[in-house]
Amino acid sequence: MKTNIRKGDTVHIRTGRDLGRKGKVLQVLSTKGKVVVEGMNIRKKHVKAKRAQEKGQTVEQPTPFDISNVQLFCEKCSRAVRIGITREGGKRARVCKKCNTAL
Ligand SMILES: [Zn+2]
């Protein structure tokens, strides 16, 4: 699946309990069309103790979002925006469709 979202981008969450929040993209799973966003969509996973004396642990893991449920955030517009692509100087670049700033 093609996406304009990249690792390190700030995205706006459009679904679930993190609706309206923004976070940094940690990972793009392009084959699955999903992204992992730092601190968002956290699922607590219980890890069982391996030995009787050990305690079980709760590990917090971010669950990936569908790419359609996140949108790139433009700092200048301070809102989630649609992305346009320019080919200025023969190089593909992403721009904010609203203010035309390179993202
Ligand atoms: Zn903008």
What lies within 8 Å, CB to CB, of 78 at 6+ separation is none
pLDDT grade for 1, boundaries at 50, 70 and 90: low
Q: What is the C-alpha separation between 64 and 56, in angstroms, rounded?
A: 24
Q: Is the pLDDT of residue 97 over 70?
A: yes
Kindly give the distance from the C-alpha atom of residue 72 to the centroid of ligand 1, in angstroms, as a whole number. Answer: 10
pLDDT tens for each residue of 43-96: 998 888 888 888 888 988 899 999 999 999 999 999 999 999 988 888 888 999
pLDDT at 55: 85
Kindly give the distance from the C-alpha atom of residue 92 to the centroid of ligand 1, in angstroms, as a whole number. Answer: 18
Q: What is the C-alpha separation between 101 and 22, in angstroms, rounded?
A: 19
Kindly give the distance from the C-alpha atom of residue 10 to the centroid of ligand 1, in angstroms, as a whole number. Answer: 13
In 3D, which of 81, 42, 82, 83 has the Cα closest to residue 64? 42
Which pTM was predicted?
Answer: 0.82
Kindly give the distance from the C-alpha atom of residue 103 to the centroid of ligand 1, in angstroms, as a whole number. Answer: 8
pLDDT at 7: 96
Top-level class of domain 10-49+58-96: mainly beta
